[in-house]
Structure 1
Amino acid sequence: MEYIAKQEQKGGAGSRVVSREEWLEARKALLQQEKELTRQRDRVNAARLALPWVRVDKDYRFQTSSGQKSLADLFEGRSQLMINHFMFGPDWDAGCPGCSFFADHIDGMLPHLNNHDVTFMTVSRAPLDKIEAYKRRMNWHFPWVSSYGSDFNFDFHVSFTKEQLASGSVTYNFRQTPSEQAHDELPGLSAFYKDEQGQIFHTYSQYARGGEEALGTLMILDHAPLGRNETGTLSFVKRKDEYVQKPAANAGCCH
Protein backbone atom coordinates (compact mmCIF):
# COMPACT_ATOMS: atom_id res chain seq x y z
CA MET A 1 0.00 0.00 0.00
CA GLU A 2 2.80 2.41 0.89
CA TYR A 3 4.62 1.50 -2.33
CA ILE A 4 1.54 2.30 -4.41
CA ALA A 5 1.11 5.64 -2.65
CA LYS A 6 4.66 6.63 -3.54
CA GLN A 7 4.48 5.48 -7.16
CA GLU A 8 1.06 6.87 -8.03
CA GLN A 9 -0.21 10.38 -7.37
CA LYS A 10 -3.87 9.58 -7.92
CA GLY A 11 -6.15 6.57 -7.99
CA GLY A 12 -8.74 5.50 -10.52
CA ALA A 13 -11.32 8.05 -11.72
CA GLY A 14 -9.26 10.90 -10.26
CA SER A 15 -9.36 9.76 -6.64
CA ARG A 16 -6.62 11.07 -4.36
CA VAL A 17 -4.03 8.63 -3.05
CA VAL A 18 -3.30 9.26 0.64
CA SER A 19 -1.67 7.63 3.63
CA ARG A 20 -3.42 4.76 5.42
CA GLU A 21 -4.08 7.07 8.38
CA GLU A 22 -5.83 9.70 6.25
CA TRP A 23 -7.81 7.00 4.44
CA LEU A 24 -8.96 5.56 7.78
CA GLU A 25 -10.17 8.95 8.94
CA ALA A 26 -12.18 9.45 5.74
CA ARG A 27 -13.54 5.90 5.95
CA LYS A 28 -14.78 6.40 9.51
CA ALA A 29 -16.59 9.58 8.43
CA LEU A 30 -18.28 7.69 5.61
CA LEU A 31 -19.25 4.93 8.04
CA GLN A 32 -21.39 7.40 9.97
CA GLN A 33 -23.32 8.20 6.77
CA GLU A 34 -23.70 4.48 6.03
CA LYS A 35 -25.06 3.85 9.52
CA GLU A 36 -27.59 6.65 9.09
CA LEU A 37 -28.63 5.18 5.75
CA THR A 38 -29.21 1.82 7.45
CA ARG A 39 -31.29 3.46 10.18
CA GLN A 40 -33.27 5.38 7.56
CA ARG A 41 -33.91 2.15 5.65
CA ASP A 42 -35.22 0.59 8.86
CA ARG A 43 -37.58 3.55 9.31
CA VAL A 44 -38.81 3.29 5.72
CA ASN A 45 -39.33 -0.47 6.07
CA ALA A 46 -41.42 0.09 9.19
CA ALA A 47 -43.52 2.72 7.39
CA ARG A 48 -43.99 0.32 4.48
CA LEU A 49 -45.30 -2.40 6.80
CA ALA A 50 -47.70 0.15 8.31
CA LEU A 51 -49.32 0.98 4.97
CA PRO A 52 -53.07 0.27 4.78
CA TRP A 53 -54.26 -2.49 2.44
CA VAL A 54 -56.80 -2.53 -0.41
CA ARG A 55 -58.98 -5.56 -1.09
CA VAL A 56 -58.75 -6.96 -4.62
CA ASP A 57 -62.17 -8.07 -5.84
CA LYS A 58 -61.51 -8.23 -9.60
CA ASP A 59 -61.20 -11.71 -11.10
CA TYR A 60 -57.84 -11.59 -12.90
CA ARG A 61 -56.86 -14.56 -15.06
CA PHE A 62 -53.39 -15.66 -16.14
CA GLN A 63 -52.07 -18.15 -18.67
CA THR A 64 -49.57 -20.60 -17.17
CA SER A 65 -47.76 -23.76 -18.26
CA SER A 66 -50.38 -25.76 -16.31
CA GLY A 67 -53.43 -23.94 -17.65
CA GLN A 68 -55.39 -20.82 -16.77
CA LYS A 69 -55.07 -19.62 -13.18
CA SER A 70 -56.60 -16.91 -11.01
CA LEU A 71 -54.69 -14.41 -8.91
CA ALA A 72 -55.49 -16.55 -5.86
CA ASP A 73 -53.91 -19.57 -7.58
CA LEU A 74 -50.65 -17.67 -8.08
CA PHE A 75 -50.07 -17.69 -4.31
CA GLU A 76 -49.33 -21.44 -4.64
CA GLY A 77 -50.66 -22.15 -1.15
CA ARG A 78 -48.75 -19.36 0.59
CA SER A 79 -50.17 -16.23 2.22
CA GLN A 80 -47.89 -13.68 0.52
CA LEU A 81 -47.32 -13.02 -3.17
CA MET A 82 -44.75 -10.76 -4.79
CA ILE A 83 -45.32 -10.03 -8.47
CA ASN A 84 -42.50 -8.84 -10.66
CA HIS A 85 -43.96 -6.76 -13.49
CA PHE A 86 -41.57 -7.73 -16.30
CA MET A 87 -41.54 -5.53 -19.43
CA PHE A 88 -42.37 -7.91 -22.28
CA GLY A 89 -45.16 -6.73 -24.56
CA PRO A 90 -47.31 -8.94 -26.78
CA ASP A 91 -45.53 -7.82 -29.97
CA TRP A 92 -42.00 -7.75 -28.53
CA ASP A 93 -39.36 -10.21 -29.75
CA ALA A 94 -37.53 -10.37 -26.40
CA GLY A 95 -37.86 -9.17 -22.82
CA CYS A 96 -36.54 -5.82 -21.63
CA PRO A 97 -32.75 -5.90 -20.94
CA GLY A 98 -33.19 -4.13 -17.59
CA CYS A 99 -35.94 -6.51 -16.47
CA SER A 100 -33.77 -9.39 -17.66
CA PHE A 101 -30.94 -8.05 -15.50
CA PHE A 102 -33.26 -8.16 -12.49
CA ALA A 103 -34.50 -11.62 -13.48
CA ASP A 104 -30.94 -12.95 -13.35
CA HIS A 105 -31.10 -12.41 -9.57
CA ILE A 106 -34.37 -14.28 -8.91
CA ASP A 107 -33.71 -18.03 -8.99
CA GLY A 108 -31.31 -18.01 -6.03
CA MET A 109 -33.82 -16.13 -3.88
CA LEU A 110 -36.75 -18.49 -4.38
CA PRO A 111 -36.00 -21.20 -1.74
CA HIS A 112 -35.50 -18.51 0.91
CA LEU A 113 -38.65 -16.58 -0.04
CA ASN A 114 -40.76 -19.74 -0.24
CA ASN A 115 -39.55 -20.81 3.22
CA HIS A 116 -40.70 -17.40 4.47
CA ASP A 117 -44.26 -18.01 3.18
CA VAL A 118 -43.67 -15.77 0.13
CA THR A 119 -44.32 -16.77 -3.47
CA PHE A 120 -42.44 -14.77 -6.11
CA MET A 121 -44.15 -14.67 -9.50
CA THR A 122 -43.16 -12.85 -12.70
CA VAL A 123 -45.96 -11.51 -14.93
CA SER A 124 -45.80 -10.12 -18.47
CA ARG A 125 -48.35 -9.35 -21.19
CA ALA A 126 -46.44 -11.34 -23.80
CA PRO A 127 -48.21 -14.57 -24.82
CA LEU A 128 -47.10 -17.65 -22.90
CA ASP A 129 -45.25 -19.24 -25.82
CA LYS A 130 -43.03 -16.14 -26.17
CA ILE A 131 -42.40 -16.09 -22.43
CA GLU A 132 -41.41 -19.74 -22.30
CA ALA A 133 -39.11 -19.43 -25.33
CA TYR A 134 -37.32 -16.43 -23.81
CA LYS A 135 -37.14 -18.16 -20.43
CA ARG A 136 -35.37 -21.12 -22.08
CA ARG A 137 -32.96 -18.77 -23.86
CA MET A 138 -32.03 -17.11 -20.57
CA ASN A 139 -31.91 -20.42 -18.65
CA TRP A 140 -34.26 -19.18 -15.93
CA HIS A 141 -36.44 -21.43 -13.76
CA PHE A 142 -38.62 -19.05 -11.72
CA PRO A 143 -42.42 -19.09 -12.31
CA TRP A 144 -43.48 -16.70 -15.09
CA VAL A 145 -47.04 -16.31 -16.33
CA SER A 146 -48.84 -14.30 -18.99
CA SER A 147 -51.50 -11.70 -18.30
CA TYR A 148 -52.31 -11.42 -22.01
CA GLY A 149 -55.95 -10.47 -22.48
CA SER A 150 -56.30 -9.36 -18.84
CA ASP A 151 -56.61 -5.89 -17.32
CA PHE A 152 -54.05 -6.78 -14.66
CA ASN A 153 -51.06 -4.86 -16.06
CA PHE A 154 -53.19 -1.84 -16.90
CA ASP A 155 -54.86 -1.74 -13.48
CA PHE A 156 -51.46 -1.82 -11.77
CA HIS A 157 -50.09 0.91 -14.05
CA VAL A 158 -47.29 -0.96 -15.78
CA SER A 159 -48.87 -1.27 -19.25
CA PHE A 160 -50.39 1.52 -21.31
CA THR A 161 -52.61 1.66 -24.38
CA LYS A 162 -51.77 3.68 -27.48
CA GLU A 163 -54.59 6.04 -26.53
CA GLN A 164 -53.15 6.60 -23.06
CA LEU A 165 -49.71 7.34 -24.48
CA ALA A 166 -51.22 9.64 -27.12
CA SER A 167 -52.95 11.69 -24.39
CA GLY A 168 -49.62 13.21 -23.38
CA SER A 169 -49.09 11.51 -20.01
CA VAL A 170 -49.70 8.27 -18.15
CA THR A 171 -50.07 7.42 -14.47
CA TYR A 172 -46.81 5.78 -13.41
CA ASN A 173 -45.01 5.73 -10.07
CA PHE A 174 -48.01 7.47 -8.45
CA ARG A 175 -47.76 10.58 -10.60
CA GLN A 176 -48.49 11.77 -14.11
CA THR A 177 -45.50 10.89 -16.27
CA PRO A 178 -45.04 12.56 -19.68
CA SER A 179 -45.61 10.10 -22.52
CA GLU A 180 -42.16 10.81 -23.97
CA GLN A 181 -40.68 9.42 -20.73
CA ALA A 182 -42.87 6.32 -20.83
CA HIS A 183 -43.30 3.18 -22.94
CA ASP A 184 -46.17 0.78 -23.56
CA GLU A 185 -44.62 -1.41 -20.83
CA LEU A 186 -42.81 -0.28 -17.66
CA PRO A 187 -41.32 -2.16 -14.66
CA GLY A 188 -42.64 -2.58 -11.16
CA LEU A 189 -43.06 -4.87 -8.16
CA SER A 190 -46.35 -5.47 -6.35
CA ALA A 191 -47.17 -7.26 -3.09
CA PHE A 192 -50.36 -9.11 -2.13
CA TYR A 193 -51.69 -10.95 0.91
CA LYS A 194 -54.32 -13.70 1.06
CA ASP A 195 -56.07 -14.34 4.37
CA GLU A 196 -57.57 -17.59 5.67
CA GLN A 197 -60.94 -16.72 4.14
CA GLY A 198 -59.33 -16.38 0.69
CA GLN A 199 -59.63 -12.60 0.52
CA ILE A 200 -56.80 -10.95 -1.42
CA PHE A 201 -55.32 -7.58 -0.54
CA HIS A 202 -52.96 -5.35 -2.47
CA THR A 203 -50.44 -4.12 0.10
CA TYR A 204 -47.67 -2.39 -1.82
CA SER A 205 -46.27 -1.47 -5.25
CA GLN A 206 -43.03 0.17 -6.31
CA TYR A 207 -41.92 1.41 -9.71
CA ALA A 208 -39.02 2.96 -11.63
CA ARG A 209 -35.80 2.79 -9.54
CA GLY A 210 -37.68 1.69 -6.42
CA GLY A 211 -36.48 -1.90 -6.72
CA GLU A 212 -32.76 -1.26 -6.98
CA GLU A 213 -32.02 -2.69 -3.54
CA ALA A 214 -33.09 -6.11 -4.84
CA LEU A 215 -30.39 -5.95 -7.52
CA GLY A 216 -27.39 -7.50 -5.83
CA THR A 217 -25.13 -6.69 -8.79
CA LEU A 218 -25.82 -2.97 -8.40
CA MET A 219 -25.23 -3.14 -4.66
CA ILE A 220 -21.81 -4.74 -5.27
CA LEU A 221 -20.95 -2.20 -7.97
CA ASP A 222 -21.84 0.62 -5.57
CA HIS A 223 -18.93 -0.61 -3.43
CA ALA A 224 -16.49 -1.16 -6.30
CA PRO A 225 -13.71 1.38 -7.02
CA LEU A 226 -15.46 2.90 -10.05
CA GLY A 227 -19.05 2.38 -8.90
CA ARG A 228 -21.69 1.71 -11.52
CA ASN A 229 -19.72 3.65 -14.13
CA GLU A 230 -22.91 4.39 -16.05
CA THR A 231 -23.99 7.29 -18.23
CA GLY A 232 -27.67 6.77 -17.42
CA THR A 233 -29.81 4.38 -15.40
CA LEU A 234 -28.60 0.84 -16.22
CA SER A 235 -26.80 2.14 -19.33
CA PHE A 236 -24.23 -0.65 -19.05
CA VAL A 237 -26.73 -3.49 -18.86
CA LYS A 238 -27.29 -6.01 -21.64
CA ARG A 239 -28.98 -9.39 -21.69
CA LYS A 240 -26.48 -11.82 -20.17
CA ASP A 241 -25.96 -13.69 -23.44
CA GLU A 242 -25.20 -10.45 -25.32
CA TYR A 243 -22.07 -9.37 -23.46
CA VAL A 244 -18.82 -9.51 -25.42
CA GLN A 245 -16.26 -11.37 -23.36
CA LYS A 246 -13.24 -9.17 -22.66
CA PRO A 247 -9.75 -10.45 -21.87
CA ALA A 248 -8.62 -9.96 -18.27
CA ALA A 249 -7.00 -6.56 -17.80
CA ASN A 250 -3.92 -8.11 -16.21
CA ALA A 251 -3.48 -10.86 -18.80
CA GLY A 252 0.12 -11.13 -19.95
CA CYS A 253 1.22 -10.73 -23.55
CA CYS A 254 1.77 -14.46 -23.87
CA HIS A 255 -1.93 -15.33 -23.25
Structure 2
Amino acid sequence: MTSNEQIAALKKPTVVSAEEWERAWQAMLVKEKEHTRARDALAAARRTMPWLAVEKEYSFEGPQGKVTLLDLFEGRRQLVLYRAFYDPGVYGWPDHACVGCSLGADQVSHLAHLHARDTTLAYASRGSQENIARLKQRMGWERIPWYTITDDFDKDFGVDQWHGHNVFFRDENDRVFRTYFTNNRGDEALGTVWSYLDLTPLGRQEKWEESPAGYPQTETYKWWRWHDAYGNEDKKWSNVVDNATVILKL
Protein backbone atom coordinates (compact mmCIF):
# COMPACT_ATOMS: atom_id res chain seq x y z
CA MET A 1 0.00 0.00 0.00
CA THR A 2 1.27 3.47 -0.84
CA SER A 3 2.31 5.33 2.28
CA ASN A 4 1.13 8.79 3.29
CA GLU A 5 4.71 9.99 2.92
CA GLN A 6 4.85 8.82 -0.69
CA ILE A 7 1.53 10.46 -1.49
CA ALA A 8 2.61 13.70 0.16
CA ALA A 9 5.75 13.75 -1.99
CA LEU A 10 3.86 13.43 -5.27
CA LYS A 11 3.77 16.38 -7.65
CA LYS A 12 0.01 16.46 -7.96
CA PRO A 13 -1.96 17.96 -10.86
CA THR A 14 -3.64 21.36 -10.55
CA VAL A 15 -6.98 21.47 -8.74
CA VAL A 16 -9.52 23.35 -10.86
CA SER A 17 -13.19 24.31 -10.95
CA ALA A 18 -15.90 21.94 -12.20
CA GLU A 19 -16.12 23.90 -15.47
CA GLU A 20 -12.37 23.67 -16.09
CA TRP A 21 -12.39 19.99 -15.22
CA GLU A 22 -15.21 19.40 -17.74
CA ARG A 23 -13.21 21.14 -20.48
CA ALA A 24 -10.14 19.06 -19.68
CA TRP A 25 -12.21 15.87 -19.75
CA GLN A 26 -13.79 16.78 -23.10
CA ALA A 27 -10.31 17.34 -24.56
CA MET A 28 -9.17 13.97 -23.22
CA LEU A 29 -12.31 12.32 -24.63
CA VAL A 30 -11.30 13.42 -28.14
CA LYS A 31 -7.96 11.63 -27.72
CA GLU A 32 -9.66 8.54 -26.29
CA LYS A 33 -12.05 8.35 -29.24
CA GLU A 34 -9.06 8.58 -31.58
CA HIS A 35 -7.50 5.69 -29.70
CA THR A 36 -10.71 3.65 -30.00
CA ARG A 37 -10.87 4.24 -33.75
CA ALA A 38 -7.22 3.30 -34.12
CA ARG A 39 -7.81 0.11 -32.14
CA ASP A 40 -10.78 -0.74 -34.38
CA ALA A 41 -8.65 -0.12 -37.48
CA LEU A 42 -5.92 -2.39 -36.11
CA ALA A 43 -8.44 -5.18 -35.52
CA ALA A 44 -9.75 -4.68 -39.07
CA ALA A 45 -6.19 -5.03 -40.40
CA ARG A 46 -5.82 -8.32 -38.54
CA ARG A 47 -8.87 -9.64 -40.36
CA THR A 48 -7.10 -9.15 -43.69
CA MET A 49 -3.84 -10.86 -42.68
CA PRO A 50 -2.83 -13.93 -44.70
CA TRP A 51 -3.28 -17.34 -43.12
CA LEU A 52 -0.73 -20.09 -42.55
CA ALA A 53 -1.91 -23.66 -43.11
CA VAL A 54 -1.15 -26.00 -40.20
CA GLU A 55 0.01 -29.13 -41.99
CA LYS A 56 1.58 -30.97 -39.07
CA GLU A 57 -0.43 -33.13 -36.69
CA TYR A 58 -0.25 -32.09 -33.04
CA SER A 59 -1.29 -34.09 -30.01
CA PHE A 60 -2.38 -32.90 -26.57
CA GLU A 61 -3.66 -34.58 -23.43
CA GLY A 62 -7.04 -33.48 -22.12
CA PRO A 63 -9.21 -34.57 -19.22
CA GLN A 64 -10.57 -37.42 -21.34
CA GLY A 65 -7.27 -38.46 -22.92
CA LYS A 66 -5.47 -37.77 -26.19
CA VAL A 67 -6.83 -34.98 -28.42
CA THR A 68 -5.72 -33.17 -31.57
CA LEU A 69 -5.41 -29.47 -32.31
CA LEU A 70 -8.68 -29.74 -34.24
CA ASP A 71 -10.37 -31.19 -31.14
CA LEU A 72 -9.40 -28.11 -29.16
CA PHE A 73 -11.85 -26.04 -31.25
CA GLU A 74 -14.71 -27.96 -29.55
CA GLY A 75 -16.63 -27.77 -32.84
CA ARG A 76 -16.39 -24.00 -33.11
CA ARG A 77 -14.86 -22.08 -35.99
CA GLN A 78 -12.15 -20.13 -34.14
CA LEU A 79 -9.61 -21.04 -31.45
CA VAL A 80 -7.55 -18.73 -29.26
CA LEU A 81 -4.90 -20.92 -27.63
CA TYR A 82 -2.76 -19.51 -24.82
CA ARG A 83 0.51 -21.13 -23.88
CA ALA A 84 0.60 -20.84 -20.09
CA PHE A 85 3.73 -21.74 -18.17
CA TYR A 86 2.66 -24.37 -15.70
CA ASP A 87 5.62 -26.67 -16.22
CA PRO A 88 8.20 -28.44 -14.06
CA GLY A 89 10.86 -25.88 -13.17
CA VAL A 90 8.58 -22.84 -13.43
CA TYR A 91 8.57 -20.61 -10.34
CA GLY A 92 5.77 -21.81 -8.07
CA TRP A 93 5.62 -25.35 -9.44
CA PRO A 94 3.61 -27.44 -8.69
CA ASP A 95 1.40 -25.35 -6.41
CA HIS A 96 1.21 -22.44 -8.83
CA ALA A 97 1.60 -21.60 -12.49
CA CYS A 98 3.78 -18.70 -13.62
CA VAL A 99 2.79 -15.52 -11.77
CA GLY A 100 2.08 -13.59 -14.98
CA CYS A 101 0.15 -16.46 -16.60
CA SER A 102 -1.87 -16.81 -13.41
CA LEU A 103 -2.74 -13.11 -13.40
CA GLY A 104 -3.88 -13.54 -17.00
CA ALA A 105 -6.08 -16.51 -16.10
CA ASP A 106 -7.69 -14.41 -13.37
CA GLN A 107 -8.66 -11.86 -16.03
CA VAL A 108 -10.55 -14.30 -18.27
CA SER A 109 -14.22 -13.35 -18.52
CA HIS A 110 -17.13 -15.77 -18.90
CA LEU A 111 -16.52 -17.99 -21.91
CA ALA A 112 -20.18 -18.25 -22.93
CA HIS A 113 -19.91 -14.90 -24.69
CA LEU A 114 -16.97 -16.07 -26.79
CA HIS A 115 -18.76 -19.30 -27.60
CA ALA A 116 -21.72 -17.28 -28.87
CA ARG A 117 -19.32 -15.81 -31.45
CA ASP A 118 -18.14 -19.29 -32.55
CA THR A 119 -14.86 -18.89 -30.67
CA THR A 120 -13.11 -21.17 -28.18
CA LEU A 121 -10.47 -20.07 -25.68
CA ALA A 122 -8.13 -22.72 -24.30
CA TYR A 123 -4.86 -22.94 -22.35
CA ALA A 124 -1.97 -25.35 -22.90
CA SER A 125 1.01 -26.19 -20.70
CA ARG A 126 3.56 -28.94 -20.11
CA GLY A 127 2.07 -29.87 -16.74
CA SER A 128 0.18 -33.14 -16.38
CA GLN A 129 -3.60 -33.25 -16.47
CA GLU A 130 -3.60 -34.34 -12.83
CA ASN A 131 -1.67 -31.25 -11.80
CA ILE A 132 -3.66 -28.97 -14.09
CA ALA A 133 -6.96 -30.20 -12.65
CA ARG A 134 -5.75 -29.55 -9.13
CA LEU A 135 -4.48 -26.10 -10.06
CA LYS A 136 -7.72 -25.12 -11.81
CA GLN A 137 -9.81 -26.11 -8.81
CA ARG A 138 -7.54 -24.35 -6.35
CA MET A 139 -7.44 -21.12 -8.32
CA GLY A 140 -11.05 -21.02 -9.53
CA TRP A 141 -10.24 -21.56 -13.21
CA GLU A 142 -12.54 -24.54 -13.81
CA ARG A 143 -14.18 -22.96 -16.88
CA ILE A 144 -10.93 -22.67 -18.83
CA PRO A 145 -10.16 -25.75 -20.99
CA TRP A 146 -6.52 -26.54 -20.22
CA TYR A 147 -4.49 -29.11 -22.14
CA THR A 148 -1.08 -30.75 -21.80
CA ILE A 149 1.42 -30.21 -24.63
CA THR A 150 3.00 -33.54 -25.62
CA ASP A 151 5.03 -32.70 -28.74
CA ASP A 152 6.68 -29.78 -30.55
CA PHE A 153 3.61 -27.55 -30.65
CA ASP A 154 5.12 -24.94 -28.33
CA LYS A 155 8.41 -24.83 -30.24
CA ASP A 156 6.71 -24.69 -33.65
CA PHE A 157 4.44 -21.82 -32.65
CA GLY A 158 6.91 -19.62 -30.81
CA VAL A 159 5.85 -20.35 -27.24
CA ASP A 160 8.45 -22.78 -25.95
CA GLN A 161 10.44 -20.08 -24.16
CA TRP A 162 7.73 -17.51 -23.45
CA HIS A 163 3.97 -17.21 -23.16
CA GLY A 164 1.77 -16.22 -26.10
CA HIS A 165 -1.64 -16.43 -27.76
CA ASN A 166 -1.95 -18.23 -31.10
CA VAL A 167 -5.18 -17.79 -33.05
CA PHE A 168 -6.45 -20.51 -35.38
CA PHE A 169 -9.35 -20.91 -37.81
CA ARG A 170 -11.09 -24.11 -38.90
CA ASP A 171 -12.50 -23.99 -42.43
CA GLU A 172 -15.41 -25.87 -44.00
CA ASN A 173 -13.15 -28.87 -44.68
CA ASP A 174 -11.73 -28.96 -41.14
CA ARG A 175 -8.40 -27.60 -42.31
CA VAL A 176 -6.70 -25.54 -39.61
CA PHE A 177 -4.93 -22.25 -40.24
CA ARG A 178 -2.83 -20.02 -38.01
CA THR A 179 -4.19 -16.49 -38.39
CA TYR A 180 -2.51 -14.41 -35.67
CA PHE A 181 -0.01 -14.46 -32.82
CA THR A 182 0.74 -12.11 -29.93
CA ASN A 183 2.99 -12.34 -26.88
CA ASN A 184 4.91 -10.17 -24.41
CA ARG A 185 2.87 -7.01 -23.70
CA GLY A 186 0.36 -8.09 -26.34
CA ASP A 187 -0.88 -10.61 -23.78
CA GLU A 188 -1.26 -8.33 -20.79
CA ALA A 189 -4.58 -6.66 -21.64
CA LEU A 190 -6.30 -9.83 -22.87
CA GLY A 191 -9.12 -11.38 -20.88
CA THR A 192 -12.27 -9.56 -21.94
CA VAL A 193 -14.62 -10.88 -24.60
CA TRP A 194 -13.76 -7.97 -26.90
CA SER A 195 -9.99 -8.28 -26.48
CA TYR A 196 -10.10 -11.89 -27.65
CA LEU A 197 -12.56 -11.35 -30.49
CA ASP A 198 -10.48 -8.47 -31.84
CA LEU A 199 -7.63 -10.97 -32.40
CA THR A 200 -9.73 -13.36 -34.46
CA PRO A 201 -10.22 -13.42 -38.24
CA LEU A 202 -13.99 -12.97 -37.89
CA GLY A 203 -13.74 -10.25 -35.25
CA ARG A 204 -16.74 -9.24 -33.16
CA GLN A 205 -19.02 -10.03 -36.12
CA GLU A 206 -21.05 -6.84 -35.77
CA LYS A 207 -22.22 -4.72 -38.69
CA TRP A 208 -20.21 -1.62 -37.83
CA GLU A 209 -16.91 -3.48 -38.27
CA GLU A 210 -14.81 -3.19 -41.39
CA SER A 211 -14.46 -6.79 -42.55
CA PRO A 212 -13.97 -8.53 -45.89
CA ALA A 213 -17.10 -9.18 -47.95
CA GLY A 214 -19.19 -12.12 -46.84
CA TYR A 215 -17.95 -12.24 -43.26
CA PRO A 216 -20.73 -13.05 -40.75
CA GLN A 217 -22.10 -9.93 -39.07
CA THR A 218 -25.14 -9.24 -36.92
CA GLU A 219 -26.76 -6.15 -35.44
CA THR A 220 -24.74 -4.52 -32.70
CA TYR A 221 -25.79 -5.40 -29.14
CA LYS A 222 -28.68 -7.66 -30.20
CA TRP A 223 -26.73 -10.91 -29.92
CA TRP A 224 -25.77 -10.17 -26.31
CA ARG A 225 -27.30 -12.41 -23.66
CA TRP A 226 -26.87 -13.23 -20.00
CA HIS A 227 -24.18 -15.88 -19.94
CA ASP A 228 -26.74 -18.55 -19.00
CA ALA A 229 -29.26 -17.54 -21.66
CA TYR A 230 -27.52 -18.08 -25.00
CA GLY A 231 -29.38 -20.19 -27.51
CA ASN A 232 -32.70 -18.51 -26.85
CA GLU A 233 -34.18 -15.70 -28.94
CA ASP A 234 -34.82 -12.64 -26.80
CA LYS A 235 -37.25 -10.31 -28.59
CA LYS A 236 -37.66 -8.14 -25.53
CA TRP A 237 -33.93 -7.38 -25.50
CA SER A 238 -34.07 -6.57 -29.22
CA ASN A 239 -36.85 -4.11 -28.49
CA VAL A 240 -34.85 -2.56 -25.68
CA VAL A 241 -31.97 -1.99 -28.10
CA ASP A 242 -34.26 -0.65 -30.84
CA ASN A 243 -36.12 1.72 -28.51
CA ALA A 244 -33.25 2.82 -26.30
CA THR A 245 -33.55 6.46 -25.38
CA VAL A 246 -29.82 6.68 -24.75
CA ILE A 247 -27.85 6.07 -27.94
CA LEU A 248 -24.86 3.84 -27.32
CA LYS A 249 -22.15 5.35 -29.51
CA LEU A 250 -19.46 3.14 -30.91
Common fold by TM > 0.5: yes
Alignment of 1:160-171 (within 5 A): 160=161
Amino acid at match of 1:193: F
Q: In the alignment, which of 189, 209, 212 is matched to residue 165 of structure 2?
A: 189
Match of residue 181 from structure 1: none
- Classify the secondary structure of the residue corresponding to 1:14: coil
Offset at residue 212 of structure 1 (A): 3.3
2: distance between equivalents of 1:158 and 1:206?
Answer: 10
- 1:105, CA displacement in angstroms? 2.4
How many angstroms does 1:193 deviate by?
0.6
* Equivalent in the alignment of 1:59: 57
Match of 1:105 in 2: 107
* TM-score, normalisation: structure 1: 0.67
Alignment deviations for residues 206-229 of structure 1 (CA, whole Å, 9 cap, x no partner): 01111333246xx9xxxxxxxxxx
What SS class does the counterpart of residue 14 from structure 2 fall into? Answer: coil
Output the CA distance in 2 between the equivalents of 1:88 and 1:13: 42
Matches of residues 7-18 of structure 1 in structure 2 within 5 Å?
A: 14-18=12-16
- 1:120 and 2:121 aligned: yes
> Unaligned regions of 5+ residues in structure 1, if any?
1-9, 161-185, 220-255
Within 5 Å, which residues of 2 pair with 1:7-156? 14-92=12-90, 93=93, 94-106=96-108, 108-141=109-142, 142-147=144-149, 149-156=150-157
Matched AA of 1:133: R
CA distance in 2, matches of 1:189, 1:48: 14
37 and 189 in structure 1: CA distance in 2 versus 1, 3 angstrom threshold: same
SS at match of 2:110: helix
Deviation at 1:115, TM superposition (A): 1.2
Bigger CA drift: 89-98 or 18-27?
Answer: 89-98
**TM-score of the aligned structures, taking structure 2 as reference length:** 0.68
> For 1:56-115, what per-residue CA distance to the aligned partner results, in whole angstroms no more than 9, with x for missing partners?
011110011100000011111111111011122233312011111111122x33101111
In 2, Cα distance between equivalents of 1:188 and 1:14: 37
Change in 2 beyond 3 A, CA 1:153/1:13: farther
Q: Give the aligned residue type for 2:47.
A: L
Computed over aligned residues only, the root mean square deviation of the Cα atoms, in angstroms, reads 2.0
Whole-angstrom CA distance in 2 between matches of 1:109 and 1:214 = 13
Aligned to 2:177: 201
Amino acid at match of 2:31: Q
Q: Give, as a single letter, the amino acid of the residue that structure 2 aligns with 1:20.
A: A
Give the C-alpha shift of residue 187 in structure 1. 1.7
Q: Unpaired segments of 5 or more residues in structure 2?
A: 1-7, 196-250
Structure 2 residue matching 1:214: 3-state secondary structure: coil
| Number of equivalenced pairs | 181
What is the CA distance between 1:13 and its match in structure 2?
6.2
How big is each residue's C-alpha offset from its partner over 1:131-169, in whole Å with a ceiling of 9 and x where there is no partner? 12211210211110110x310111111113xxxxxxxxx
Match of 2:160 in 1: 159
